[in-house]
Amino acid sequence: MIRAQFPIITSHPELAYLDSAATAQKPQPVLDAVHHYLTTSNANAGRGTYPWANSTTALIERVRERVKAFLDDPDPARSQVHFVSGTTEGLRTVALDWLVDELADGDEIIVPFADHEANVSPWLEARDVLARRNIRVGVREMPYQESSGDYDISALAGLLTPRTRFVAATHVHHVYGGDMNVGRIREAVGPDVPIALDAAQSVGHLPVSLRELDVDFAVFSGHKALALPGSGAVWSRGLRGAEFAPRGWQGTPNTVGIASLGAALDWLDGAGPERIEQWTVGLAARLTAGLRELPPYEVVGCQLSLAERSAVQQRHGIVTFRHSDIESVDLGFILFSHGFMVRADGLCQGRAGEGRSSVRVSLHAYNTREEVDRLLEVLTSLAPQS
Ligand code: PLP
C-alpha cells in the first residue's frame, strides 16, 4: 500500500495534502536513506582519504548515473548531470553559465511567458547581461493556443528565423496540468536549435523519456520528486552548442539531499511512474468531472483536455479552479478549515499568465479517491443551491 509508506500522511488522517506540485511528501525509504547516510557515512565529497569521504563521492557518482537512467537518457556516456538546489537555480545556471556564451548580436530566443516564472526570468536575465555587453538578443514570446494553454506550434513555426538560437519550454504546466507536447517543438524548430526543458512537474509524476523528448537540458527539483529540498539536477548533453559547465568554484555538494534523491528515484521506479501517472490522472479527472457539475466553479485551462485521456493535451494530476463569488485566497482558507491543504494564489505564473489568483489541487501517489470525494462535498456545500 503506497499511502502507508508516507508517515506524514498517515499520522494526520484528519488532513488531506493536496499541494504536491508545490512540494511532495517523502516515503519512509527516503527518510531511512537520509538517516542511514547521516548516521553511517556522512562526510564531504571529492576530498577523500578515508572511507566515509570515499563512499560519499561514490554515492554522488552513483546518483548521477541513477538520474540518467531514471530519465531514459539517450546518451549516458556523453551527457552530464549537475546537481543544483532545484529547478529555479538549475534554469538560472543554464541561462547565465551557458546561454550567454552561445548568443551573438541579433540572435533570438523563445521564452514561455505563461509558464512558471522560474522558466521566464533567467532567460531575460541572460538577455540583460548581454545587453550590458552591447550584444542585443531578441526575446520572442512562445505562442499559446487561446483555447488550451498548450503551445501553439503553428504560430511558433511562424516566429522562427535563421537567428532563432534557443527555446525554453515546460514539460507539464504547473497551473493547467497539461502536457505541453514538447516533442512538437523539436519538430517545429528542426534539429539544430537547443531546447531547455523545465521538468519540475513531470519528474516523479510520470515516466519521463529524454530519448523521446529530444531536448538539450532537462531541469527538475528533487523536493517535488519525493527527495529532500535542495536536491535538484540539470541534465545536459553538448549535442547542440558547447558542453554545459557551471562557472566558478563548486563548493560542497548537498550530499544528504543527493542521497535522498537516489532513494527517491529508487522508490519511484519501484512504485512505477506509469502507475503513479495513471492514479493521479484518474484522481484529477474525478475532481474535474465533479467540479463541472457545480456551476460556480470554473476549471482553468484547456477545456478540451479535461477528460481522463485527451488527444488534444494530456492532463496530469493538477486541477486549478475558481469560484465565481469566493476569492481564491479565501477559498484556500475555507478549505483548510475542512482539513484540505491546497495552493491558493497567483501560482508564480509568468507575466502572460492568468493574472488572477486561483485554487490549485495537485495530487500524488498518496492521495485517495475518498479525499477527492470529500473535497467535492465541501466544494458542493459552497455552491449556492438553485
Ligand atoms: N518550474 C515549475 C513548472 C514549477 O512548478 C516550479 C515550482 O513550483 C518551479 C519551476 C520552481 O521550482 P523550485 O522552487 O523547486 O526551484
Whole-number Å distance, alpha carbon 118 to ligand 1 midpoint, is 6
Backbone angles phi, psi at 66, to 5 degrees: -65, -40
Instruction: Give whole-number Cα distances, 287 to 66, 231, 236, 277, 368, in Å.
Output: 34, 31, 37, 15, 11
Cell of 22: 508545490
Which atom of ligand 1 lies at the shortest distance from residue 87's CA? 16
Label the pairing between strands 232-236 and 80-84: antiparallel
Note the maximum CA span of the chain.
75
Q: Is 321 helix (H, G, I), strand (E, B) or coil?
A: strand
Instruction: Give whole-number Cα distances, 360 to 257, 341, 344, in Å.
Output: 27, 10, 6
Sign of the CA dihedral with 20 first, then 263, 259, and 172 last: negative
Instruction: Give whole-number Cα distances, 206 to 40, 196, 199, 200, in Å.
Output: 33, 19, 11, 11
Q: How many CB atoms lie under 10 A from the CB of residue 14?
A: 6
Instruction: Check residue 34 and give its pLDDT.
Output: 98
Instruction: Check residue 81 and give its pLDDT.
Output: 98
What per-residue string of b and e applies to 264-297 under the rule 16 or more CB within 10 Å gives b?
bbbbbeebebeebbebbbebbbbbbebbeeeeeb
Q: What is the DSSP string of 104-123?
A: -TT-EEEE-TTSBGGGTHHH
**How far apart, in whole angstroms, are the C-alpha atoms of residue 200 and residue 264?**
15
Candidates 157, 136, 208, 216; CA nearest to 179 is 208
Cell of 159: 516566429
Q: DSSP character for 191?
A: S
Cell 514561455 sits on residue: 112
Cα atoms in the Cβ-side hemisphere of radius 13 Å centred on 16: 24
From first to last of its 386 residues, what are the pLDDT tens digits of the chain?
Answer: 899 999 999 999 999 999 999 999 999 999 999 999 999 999 999 877 999 999 999 999 999 999 999 999 999 999 999 999 999 999 999 999 999 999 999 999 999 999 999 999 999 999 999 999 999 999 999 999 876 778 999 999 999 999 999 999 999 999 999 999 999 999 999 999 999 999 999 999 999 999 999 999 999 999 999 999 999 999 999 999 999 999 999 899 999 999 999 999 999 999 999 999 999 999 999 999 999 999 999 998 766 555 666 666 688 999 999 999 999 999 999 999 999 999 998 888 888 888 889 999 999 999 999 999 999 999 999 998 65
For the entire predicted model, the pTM comes to: 0.96
Domains of the chain plus CATH, in order, are: 3-26+272-381 (3.90.1150.10), 29-270 (3.40.640.10)
Cell of 349: 505564473
| In contact, 364 and 280? CB cutoff 8 Å | yes
Q: Out of 83, 87, 231, give the residue to mutate to test ligand 1, the one with the largest number of ligand atoms within 8 Å of its CB.
A: 87
Cα atoms in the Cβ-side hemisphere of radius 13 Å centred on 194: 23
Instruction: Check residue 349 and give its pLDDT.
Output: 86
Q: DSSP character for 304?
A: G
Instruction: Check residue 91 and give its pLDDT.
Output: 98
The neighbouring-strand residues paired with 16 are: 340
Terminal-to-terminal C-alpha distance of the chain: 41
| Strand boundaries in the chain, DSSP class E | 16-17, 80-84, 108-111, 138-141, 164-170, 195-198, 217-220, 232-236, 297-299, 318-323, 340-341, 343-345, 358-362
Cell 485554487 sits on residue: 359
- Is residue 27 in contact with ligand 1, taking CB distance under 6 Å? no
Which atom of ligand 1 lies at the shortest distance from residue 229's CA? 15
Instruction: Check residue 310 and give its pLDDT.
Output: 62
**How far apart, in whole angstroms, are the C-alpha atoms of residue 108 and residue 85?**
28
- Is residue 350 in contact with ligand 1, taking CB distance under 6 Å? no
- Is residue 19 in contact with ligand 1, taking CB distance under 6 Å? no
Candidates 301, 298, 283; CA nearest to 115 is 301
- Is residue 204 in contact with ligand 1, taking CB distance under 6 Å? no
CA angle 10, 16, 22 (to 5 degrees): 105
- Is residue 237 in contact with ligand 1, taking CB distance under 6 Å? no
- Is residue 86 in contact with ligand 1, taking CB distance under 6 Å? yes
